[in-house]
Amino acid sequence: MTKKLLVPTDFSKQANQAFEVACQLSKRYNAQLHLLHLVEFPHTILESVTGSQNFEPPEALFFLKMAQKNFQELKSQAFATGIEIIDVVKFNSIHQGILDYAKHESIDTIIMGSHGTSGFEELFIGSNTEKIVRNASRPVLVIKKQHTDFKVKTLVFATDLEDDNIEPLKKAIEFAKAEDANLKVVYINTPDRFETTEKITELFKKFTAKINKTISNFEIYNDLKVERGIMNYAKNTNADLIAIGTHGRKGLAHFFNGSLSEDLVNHAKRPVLTFRI
C-alpha cells in the first residue's frame, strides 16, 4: 500500500512535472507527499550548519527563504489542493540526502523528473536521478514530460526471467492492479544472447511457478539489443509506462548500457518505474 511519496526537487521544470504527477498519485492513493529540497554546501559551511544549533550562516538563511518561497508556489497550484504535503530543506549532498530521507521517513515511492528527449541518456548515465535509481531500496518513478492526467493503462515489465526478477515483477503486478492497468511481460531476445522460443517458454513456466501468479500477457520480442527491444516493444504496444528491476550498476547496464542511438533516445519519452532487486 502506497502511503508516502517523495519528490526531490530543485524547482526546475522537470521536477515540477514530477510533482504534478505525484499530486495525482497522492489523491489516488490518499498518500502523504513529501517535497525535499537539498542544498549542497562546502564541508566547512555544512559543518557549521549541522554542528551548531545557534549558528546559521547567511548562505543557509538565503537558501532556506528561497526554498520556502518556491514551496509555497508549488503548493498553491490547483492540482496540489487537498493533499497533505510536507516540505523539507536539507543540507546534504543531493544523492545521499535523498536516500537518507527516504529511509528515515519510510517512503514508499520516489518520484523524480528527467528531461524528455535528452533526459533518457542523462537518466541512466551519471546523473543524480541515475544514482538514485541505482541505489534506492524503494521504487523510483521517473517522469519525462508533463502529465496533466497521469494514467497507466498499459504497463510493460521487461525481464530476463532470472530469479532476481521475481520480487520486482510482484511489485509491478501490485502497481498494475492499483492502477487498473494491463500488464505486459516481455523477454527481449537478441542475437548475442539468442534462445529458442521453446527454451524461453520453458524458462517462463518455471519463472511464473515461483511467483505463484498467473501472467496472461507474456511475449518474446526479437531485436538487436535489449534496450532497443524494450523501447520498440513499448512503442509498438503503446505502453504508458516501462518497469524494470535493477540491481546497482549491473542491473542498469543490463538494460540500458549507454549505447542507445540518438534516434532511440529521442523516442524514450515514456515514464520508467524501477524496482530494486
C-alpha cell at 33: 507527499
Count CA atoms closer than 13 A to 100's CA, side-chain side. Answer: 11
- pLDDT, residue 22, reads 97
* Mean pLDDT in residue range 159-179: 93
What would the pLDDT profile of 63-81 be if each residue is shown by its tens digit?
888 889 999 999 999 999 9
Q: What is the CATH number of domain 154-276?
A: 3.40.50.620
- pLDDT, residue 134, reads 77
Q: Where are the domains of the chain?
A: 4-143, 154-276
C-alpha cell at 220: 518474446
pTM of the complete model: 0.85
- pLDDT, residue 169, reads 94
| Bridge partner residues of 36 (DSSP) | 8, 88
Round to whole Å and give the CA distance between 203 and 207.
Answer: 6
Comparing C-alpha atoms, which of 10, 270, 261, 255 is closest to residue 128?
Answer: 10
DSSP 113-150: E--STTHHHHHHTTSHHHHHHHH-SS-EEEE-S--SS-
Please answer whether residues 245 and 171 qualify as being in contact, where contact means their C-beta atoms are separated by less than 8 angstroms.
no
* Mean pLDDT in residue range 90-104: 91
Q: What share of the chain is helix, strand, coil (3-state, %, to 5)?
A: 50, 20, 30
Q: Do domains 4-143 and 154-276 have the same CATH topology?
A: yes
Q: Pick the residue with more confidence: 248 or 180?
A: 180
Helix, strand, or coil here: 76?
coil
Q: Which of 28-42, 50-64, 87-101, 208-222 has the lowest mean pLDDT?
A: 50-64
Q: Provide the pLDDT confidence category of residue 257 given band limits of 50, 70 and 90.
A: very low
Q: Report how far apart, in Å, the C-alpha atoms of 252 and of each of 100, 132, 219, 227, 231 are.
A: 22, 12, 22, 10, 15
Q: Pick the residue with more confidence: 62 or 182?
A: 182
* Mean pLDDT in residue range 228-256: 77
- Does 49 have pLDDT greater than 70? no
Q: Provide the pLDDT confidence category of residue 114 given band limits of 50, 70 and 90.
A: confident
DSSP 248-260: HHHHHHHH--S--
Fold for the domain defined by 4-143: Rossmann fold (3.40.50)
Q: Provide the pLDDT confidence category of residue 48 given band limits of 50, 70 and 90.
A: low
For a pLDDT cut of 70, what percent of the chain falls above it? 81
Q: Provide the pLDDT confidence category of residue 277 given band limits of 50, 70 and 90.
A: confident
Which of 93-107, 116-130, 256-270 has maximum average pLDDT?
93-107
Q: Provide the pLDDT confidence category of residue 223 given band limits of 50, 70 and 90.
A: very high
A 10 A CB-CB count for 154 gives 16
Please answer whether residues 114 and 80 qualify as being in contact, where contact means their C-beta atoms are separated by less than 8 angstroms.
no
Q: Report how far apart, in Å, the C-alpha atoms of 37 and of each of 34, 95, 153 are.
A: 10, 11, 31
Round to whole Å and give the CA distance between 118 and 264.
Answer: 10
